[in-house]
Structure 1
Amino acid sequence: MESATKTVTIAAAKQFVSRCITAAGALPAHSDQMAETLIMADHRGHYSHGMNRLEMYVNDLKQSIADGHIKPAILKESAATAHVDGRNGLGPVVGKFCMDLAIKKAKESGVGWVVAKGSNHYGIAGYYALQASSQGLVGFSFTNSSRIVRVNRSSFYGLGTNPIACAAPGVDGDTFVLDMATSAVSFGKAEVNARKGIPIPDGWGADKEGKVTNDPQAVLDGGGMLPLGGSEETSGYKGYGLAMMVEVLCGILGGSNYSMNIRKWGTTGETADLGQCFIAVNPAMFGDGFEDRMQDLMDSHRNLAPADPEKPVLVAGDPARIHMKKCEELGGIPYPARVIEYMNGVGKSLEVPPM
């Protein structure tokens, strides 16, 4: 049974995260970017990648595994492309730098394609895709990550959850936002369930021997996630293939670590050196009426008769909008009380006041 919840205002949540990251050793501007990224995740309902990730970033900074002071550097550049060295900076700082650059190039050349090496965990991939869509562009974002997903036909965990994000603007701020892991779910969802003390559903994860389990702690204690689709018999090879595609766009193209070369999840003995890819596309360079046609695409699906009258048809991004509306009604973001207690413990170790 889930614990009680506590509602925290967005401003208070951001302030808490920023203070913790600054106390761990980052510049205030970098801490603010981290807070913006993490709390957007929680606001949109992606709790696995919001404040749940705070301790990981704090540990990387305190142990000097990530640098909270550097500015990314452009290594190579053309009118439409750039290769960036994140210089081991905080992932959200590297990510925003790269997508800002991709947006600039897309506005000038129609397409901006930026790939980074030397980065770190950057939060939800959708944050960067939304950067582009908020300016009338179509945005894509991808990242590789620590190996925590079982490879089909093996008990070995050889790939990351390697997310894919795409955001495309419709009319009046309505946006298609696909933000998904190439694993069945993100690893963070197992962490959240473990903190809540509830089991995980069938098909999410496996134990250290590769056996499917409902115990989130077994996933955390040497196990990992299943690829999107689960086993080979239920199309897990598709998630496996998509994860490899992300490695092509990020690790291989970026010249960073990839797959089994990336440090093991939860370890801080070496730098992550993640590869990330950011793409912005100007729809004005293609067919006319993009936003109206995009709106029609979304609405035509939303208006389909639901199989269950209690569950209307949604498109990607709608669950986040529903959650954001709930937050507005509550006056803040609802967090499980156990999560707030845990995060305040992280803050206490940094002499940061509780939420």
Structure 2
Amino acid sequence: MLRVDAERLNRIFCCELMSIGLSISDSTILVSNLIETSLSGIDTHGIRLLPTYISEFKQGGANISPVFRFENELLSSAILDADGANGVIAGNAATDKAIEMARKTGIGMVLTKNSNHFGAASSFTKQAANQRLIAISLSNSDALVALEGGTRPFLGTNPIAMTVPGLGDDCFELDFATSQISYSKVKYYLQNGIDLPQNWCVDENGSDSSTSQLYAALKALGGYKGQGIGLMVQVLTSVMSGMPYDHQLTHLYTPPFDKPRQISHWIICFNPEIFIRYEEFQSRVSELISEARINTPSVILPGDKEKASREERLANGIPIDDKDYDWVNELINKYE
């Protein structure tokens, strides 16, 4: 399998985005986000998304030169009208605003509307954690998940992420979809004719589907409780922003890519120092992590896999699988 150095990919991808009209700043924000996500091993939301994002830019689904407008702005909250921007770029702007408010008042919340797919939710919580803040981010998405007892997609995979800074490399870094499994993994099984494990999906009759070709919808994470979390995400995003619900959204990978998808995101940042001295907070987070490992050193805590992946891929390069090889190689040849 081909592996490519992260800095090399960064240069090439930025050149491609600037060639289609993106600013240096927006190109850097988007590419850095995707590469960092791939370094962390979250391949479904990393550089693999670039061709889809480029199609959105070229066909009008994502605004190449958006004008961001903050509305209903109070001391600790605001709404960002993203003007049809790429969701990663919009999410970055929303997070910067939430960080700014949290530094002034202790808490900052930004609801983003009129946006597109925003990549990995943890990208934005890590952005805030690097500024000594706790952050939670979430987004609605196109319907892929059936309600408990249902047979058709109604909820998106509606991700939730939270990052809490500790001492040094210690941090609590949670990022999960509210579906039992990601659509990307089911898509892989479909492409390779592999049967699905039980409890991942349902067929058109609402029964467990173990045959990838017959699945009708994903199952919610944790069944009835998980669907409640997915609905909660919708309330905090599309309901409050006035944007379409999950089942009204177009699919990320389904052309044409000529209209913004009107997705909503929500980010909250808060300063732990409104409750506790920051150094003591960091120490206690690290202490909690250490105590979790005392009796079971091999325990996997949120963020462990991502840290290990990042270390390995910084040393050996980001792996490029067969289905991404052609377009990555084409860009390498174009710009080198």
Structure 2 partner of 1:277: 266
Structure 1 partner of 2:25: 29
1:110 aligns with 2:101: no
1:247-262, aligned counterparts within 5 Å? 247-262=234-249
Partners of 2:211 and 2:10 lie apart in 1 by 32
Structure 2 partner of 1:309: none
Cα deviation for residue 117 of structure 1 reads: 0.4
- Structure 2 unmatched ranges of 5 or more: none
Which among 51, 61, 65 is matched to residue 65 of structure 1?
61
Which among 296, 303, 308 is matched to residue 317 of structure 1?
303
Structure 1 partner of 2:314: 328
Partners of 1:326 and 1:196 lie apart in 2 by 27
Which among 305, 324, 329 is matched to residue 340 of structure 1?
324
Instruction: Please give the per-residue CA displacement for 1:98-156, whole angstroms capped at 9, x wherever unaligned.
Output: 00000111110000011010111010000000011111110111110111112221111
1:71/1:214 Cα in 2 relative to 1: closer, same or farther (>3 Å)? farther
- Secondary structure of 1:353's counterpart equals helix
TM-score of the superposition, structure 1-length normalised?
Answer: 0.85
Number of aligned residue pairs: 332
- CA-atom RMSD in angstroms: 2.4
1:208/1:21 Cα in 2 relative to 1: closer, same or farther (>3 Å)? farther
1:298/1:197 Cα in 2 relative to 1: closer, same or farther (>3 Å)? farther
1:341/1:334 Cα in 2 relative to 1: closer, same or farther (>3 Å)? closer
1:183-194, aligned counterparts within 5 Å? 183-193=179-189
Cα deviation for residue 270 of structure 1 reads: 3.7
Structure 2 partner of 1:232: none
Partners of 1:265 and 1:211 lie apart in 2 by 26
Instruction: Please give the per-residue CA displacement for 1:151-208, whole angstroms capped at 9, x wherever unaligned.
Output: 2211110111100000000001321100110111222233455567755543333456
- Secondary structure of 2:334's counterpart equals coil
- Secondary structure of 2:179's counterpart equals coil
Which among 163, 172, 178 is matched to residue 176 of structure 1?
172
Partners of 2:205 and 2:37 lie apart in 1 by 32
- Secondary structure of 2:72's counterpart equals strand
1:353 aligns with 2:334: yes
Partners of 1:12 and 1:194 lie apart in 2 by 32
- Structure 1 unmatched ranges of 5 or more: 230-235, 307-311
TM-score of the superposition, structure 2-length normalised?
Answer: 0.90
Structure 1 partner of 2:221: 228
* Contact 1:20 1:58 (8 Å CA) reproduced: no
Cα deviation for residue 68 of structure 1 reads: 1.5
Partners of 1:154 and 1:207 lie apart in 2 by 10
Equivalent position amino acid for 1:127 in 2:
S
Equivalent position amino acid for 1:271 in 2:
P
Which among 224, 227, 247 is matched to residue 237 of structure 1?
224
* Contact 1:52 1:188 (8 Å CA) reproduced: no
Partners of 1:344 and 1:110 lie apart in 2 by 43
Equivalent position amino acid for 1:227 in 2:
A
Instruction: Please give the per-residue CA displacement for 1:24-61, whole angstroms capped at 9, x wherever unaligned.
Output: 44334322221111111110010111122222212211
Partners of 2:138 and 2:48 lie apart in 1 by 20
1:177/1:77 Cα in 2 relative to 1: closer, same or farther (>3 Å)? same
1:25/1:186 Cα in 2 relative to 1: closer, same or farther (>3 Å)? farther
Partners of 1:215 and 1:26 lie apart in 2 by 42
Partners of 1:207 and 1:28 lie apart in 2 by 46
Identity of aligned residues (%): 28
Partners of 1:26 and 1:287 lie apart in 2 by 42
